[in-house]
């Protein structure tokens, strides 16, 4: 017991010795910051009336406000700073808003219903993709006539190039709502579907990926096993039966994807980071990259030779899409922020968020505000918070040591 109290006293002593920059002791430092903020706000009265030819939607899955706050601190601490004063790339955006994220049938939404809402403009039932609320979840025979077009399809019809980049598998809820219509978000391959759904004519999500919008220019993420025939060994994990192909129809969808490309166009399929980094975007018209059998590895766990970062995928995607003078639409999902929170692992979730923010900054460097509209949002939040009165600079993953403050 005595040792416990000694440790606590030492920690409290350390917390009270935390220093912050002397400039923050000067009231003028804070007033200057306030004035700069006001000047930037006033400058926004000079509205940008140009027409955006490019649209990028960055979707941080499960990235609520508390996640953004903690990721901001982590980003600063990763750079050797205290952290609280750090600015995320998304913090630099001139306009901020909040949204209501319920599904038509649930108070707390899922990523399928919310993706349908922000990509198709229509709220729908939990667990359904690219269909209106008239579709009964899990019932294939209620799908026909209730399909919704997404902004990705609208962009393609307008002559723009389109792409999806995600850290989940490409048939997961958020990316799937851009191209698929499904009464069940989990119908990734035909093996995941009940026999009656197949008999009634519904298609699995992976098949819809290659058939619904066959001329999608960029598809990057995970999900190899949903593209290959049943029990086909995975190229990266041939000895892992859980990574084998899952399709029961015998189709190799990566080959079908390549076959559907227009004559004279160059398509490229890659499955590891080295292949992605080495390709020449100027000589690629269509790119599919599937870097894991399922979801991509977490940013903290990925292997550099085989698994690209979200930033690296975004870099290549924009280089390919930007060749179209008519412009492009790109959906970028930081999907594993959500998974880290579901697992109760703050470190995984927050490092995913920092990488997501890095990709936002990179996209800004590769595009111009004169012709590109970039939107950063989340589809829902998570039960994640940090509280108490930790001292300035306290590790975002550390204990909240009392600093003497009171509520």
Q: Tens of pLDDT along 100-116?
A: 999 999 999 999 999 99
Q: Integer distance in angstroms from the first to the last C-alpha of the chain? A: 28
For residue 181, the number of C-alpha atoms closer than 13 Å in the C-beta half-sphere is 23
Is the confidence at residue 216, as pLDDT, over 60?
yes
CB contact at 8 A, 185 and 129: yes
Which tens digit of pLDDT belongs to each residue from 274-331?
A: 999 999 999 999 999 999 999 999 999 998 889 999 999 999 999 999 999 999 999 9
The pLDDT > 90 percentage for the chain reads 83
Task: Read off the pLDDT of each residue in 352-374 and give the average, rounded to a whole number.
Answer: 97
Supply 200's token pair. 């009634």
Q: What is the pTM of this model?
A: 0.92
* Residue 403 known to be catalytic: no
pLDDT at 50: 87
CB contact at 8 A, 114 and 373: no
CA distance 250 to 253: 9
Dihedral pair phi/psi, residue 236, rounded to 5°: -100, -30
> Which one of the listed residues 17, 99, 111, 305 is annotated catalytic?
111
pLDDT at 35: 93
Is the confidence at residue 196, as pLDDT, over 70?
yes
pLDDT at 389: 85
How confident is residue 10, by pLDDT bands cut at 50, 70 and 90?
Answer: very low
Strand bridging mode 161-169 / 218-222: parallel
Task: Read off the pLDDT of each residue in 39-43 and give the average, rounded to a whole number.
Answer: 84
Q: Starting at the edge strand that comes first in sequence, how are the strands of the sheet with 372-378 ordered? A: 267-270, 286-290, 218-222, 161-169, 328-334, 54-60, 372-378
Dihedral pair phi/psi, residue 346, rounded to 5°: -60, -40
Task: Read off the pLDDT of each residue in 59-73 and give the average, rounded to a whole number.
Answer: 97
Q: Give strand pairing partners of 134.
A: none
Task: Read off the pLDDT of each residue in 324-348 and give the average, rounded to a whole number.
Answer: 98
Task: Read off the pLDDT of each residue in 88-109 and give the average, rounded to a whole number.
Answer: 94
CB contact at 8 A, 205 and 165: no
pLDDT at 47: 77
Task: Read off the pLDDT of each residue in 220-231 and give the average, rounded to a whole number.
Answer: 98
Task: Read off the pLDDT of each residue in 187-207 and give the average, rounded to a whole number.
Answer: 98
How confident is residue 8, by pLDDT bands cut at 50, 70 and 90?
Answer: very low
pLDDT at 3: 46
Task: Read off the pLDDT of each residue in 108-134 and give the average, rounded to a whole number.
Answer: 98
Q: Per mean pLDDT, which range of 32-36, 156-160, 230-234, 388-392 is the poorest? A: 388-392
């Amino acid at each position: 017991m005595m040792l416990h109290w000694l440790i606590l006293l030492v920690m409290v002593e350390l917390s009270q010795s935390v220093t912050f920059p002397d400039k923050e002791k000067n009231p003028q430092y804070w007033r200057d910051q306030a004035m700069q903020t006001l000047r930037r706000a006033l400058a926004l009265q000079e509205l940008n009336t140009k027409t955006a030819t490019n649209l990028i939607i960055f979707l941080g899955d499960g990235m609520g406000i508390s996640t953004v706050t903690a990721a901001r601190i982590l980003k600063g601490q990763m750079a050797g700073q205290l952290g609280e004063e750090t600015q995320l790339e998304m913090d630099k955006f001139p306009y901020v808003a909040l949204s209501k994220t319920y599904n038509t049938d649930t108070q707390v939404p899922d990523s399928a219903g919310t993706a349908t809402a922000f990509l198709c403009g229509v709220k729908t039932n939990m667990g359904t993709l690219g269909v209106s609320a008239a579709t009964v979840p899990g019932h294939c025979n209620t799908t026909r006539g209730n399909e919704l077009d997404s902004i990705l399809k609208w962009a393609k019809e307008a002559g723009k190039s389109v792409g999806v980049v995600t850290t989940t598998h490409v048939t997961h809820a958020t990316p799937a709502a851009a191209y698929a219509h499904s009464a069940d978000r989990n119908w990734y391959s035909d093996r995941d579907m009940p026999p009656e759904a197949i008999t009634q004519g519904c298609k699995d999500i992976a098949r819809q990926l290659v058939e619904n919008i066959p001329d999608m220019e960029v598809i990057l993420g995970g999900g190899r096993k949903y593209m290959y025939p049943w029990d086909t060994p995975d190229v990266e994990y041939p000895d892992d039966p859980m990574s084998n192909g899952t399709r029961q129809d015998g189709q190799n969808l990566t080959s079908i994807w390549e076959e559907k490309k227009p004559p004279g166009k160059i398509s490229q399929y890659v499955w590891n980071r080295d292949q992605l980094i080495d390709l020449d975007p100027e000589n690629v018209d269509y790119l599919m990259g599937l870097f894991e059998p399922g979801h991509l590895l977490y940013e903290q766990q990925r292997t550099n030779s085989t698994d690209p970062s979200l930033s690296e995928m975004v870099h290549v995607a924009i280089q390919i899409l930007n060749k179209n003078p008519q412009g492009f639409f790109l959906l970028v999902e930081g999907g594993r922020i959500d998974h880290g929170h579901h697992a109760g692992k703050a470190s995984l979730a927050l490092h995913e968020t920092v990488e997501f923010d890095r990709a936002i900054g990179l996209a800004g460097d590769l595009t111009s505000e004169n012709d590109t509209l970039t939107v950063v949002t989340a589809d829902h939040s998570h039960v994640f918070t940090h509280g108490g009165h930790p001292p300035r600079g306290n590790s975002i993953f550390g204990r909240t040591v009392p600093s003497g403050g009171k509520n």
